[in-house]
Amino acid sequence: MLKTRADKIFWAVLAAVFLGGLALTELVANEYYYTAIYAILQATIMAVAWNILGGFTGYVNFGSAAFFAIGAYTAVALDKWLGLPLPFLIAASAAVCGLMGLGVGYLTLRLKGVYFAIATLAMAIVLETFVTNWEYVGAARGVYILTPEKVPFFRSYIQLLFVVMLALTLGSIAISRALNSSRIGRGLAAIRDDEVAAECAGVPTLRLKLISTTVMGAMMGVAGAPYPFFVTFVDPLSAFNLFVAVNAIAMPMIGGTAHWIGPVIGALVIGGAQEAITVTISSELNVLVVGLMLVLFITLAPQGIVGLVQKWMKRRKR
């Protein structure tokens, strides 16, 4: 794990961020901050997950919200049925959404480009209709979740959720980074560059794409699992919100899709801006801001922030 200097720095930064998060819960009591950071962390996991299929592999997925929502509803259903503790719910959501990713991948990966994008969008609508009619989890009315008043170690439940989410985010980033620099990641990049050539070179394209959709799905499920406990009320409209899907696409695009750090930077920048705008101006405006930034980056810097930095570093070297 700690083979190179870059590895050591990476793990040191992850550990420092996690410890910093724990320290924050000791120092700051105001719950607003945890709510805001939780939203950014959730967006980060979604962006990192989207990027595994969209960035590394080159398949644009518009159905992110479906994985997120199924992750959330898996947690709701299991919480209601068995009353499992949060870590089990998260693991269950990861498993369910990973399998869903595998299945969806198997059905749709023979489609390319726009057709794949539309198929994923359609899948989200189908699943939303299904959940809207699923009485056990509240159907269209939605469902309330009760969270415990007192939690061990932390001052409030939101602090606990924040720390859990922080750990999940760091874990997702570590998985994405490991994947990016592995043989699997190289195979995915080959698929993105030229799928037919990859196949002719002997790269097992279907298997790699299924790995990609499975990991993507599982991560999105993980992002969705704690969501019901965060908002305490879930209905299909909010869980399957298209804005979740748009964010998951916009953040990696703005950060840069080819490198694992891209979606993380994108999520921090956009997520941070959204929270700031929601507080200072209005929550309606932040949708507009994402749209504008997406247009700006796609036209002016299609390689995202990472691409801009790389270009700048290359110029300085000369």
- Residues binding other proteins (CB under 8 A): 183, 186-187, 189-190, 192-194, 196-205, 258
- Cβ neighbours of residue 224 under 8 Å, at least 6 residues apart? 67, 68, 69, 70, 71, 72, 73, 74, 75, 93, 97, 239
Measured on CA atoms in the order 276, 277, 279, 284, is the torsion positive or negative? negative
Residue recorded with tokens 């699943």: 127
For other proteins, give the closer residue by CB, 26 or 194. 194
Q: How far is the CB of 256 from other proteins (least distance, A)?
A: 12
Q: What angle do CA 281, 284, 285 make, to 5 degrees?
A: 55
For other proteins, give the closer residue by CB, 189 or 246. 189
Helix (H, G, I), strand (E, B) or coil at 128: helix
For the record, the structure tokens of 175 come out as 């998985």
For other proteins, give the closer residue by CB, 17 or 206. 206
Contact 274, 290 (CB under 8 A): yes
Contact 304, 297 (CB under 8 A): yes
Q: How far is the CB of 186 from other proteins (least distance, A)?
A: 6
Q: How far is the CB of 255 from other proteins (least distance, A)?
A: 17
For other proteins, give the closer residue by CB, 172 or 257. 257
For other proteins, give the closer residue by CB, 141 or 183. 183
Q: How far is the CB of 251 from other proteins (least distance, A)?
A: 21
- Cβ neighbours of residue 38 under 8 Å, at least 6 residues apart? 158, 161, 162, 165, 230
For the record, the structure tokens of 198 come out as 């990859």
Q: How far is the CB of 184 from other proteins (least distance, A)?
A: 10
Q: How far is the CB of 199 from other proteins (least distance, A)?
A: 4
For the record, the structure tokens of 202 come out as 């002997």
For other proteins, give the closer residue by CB, 187 or 226. 187
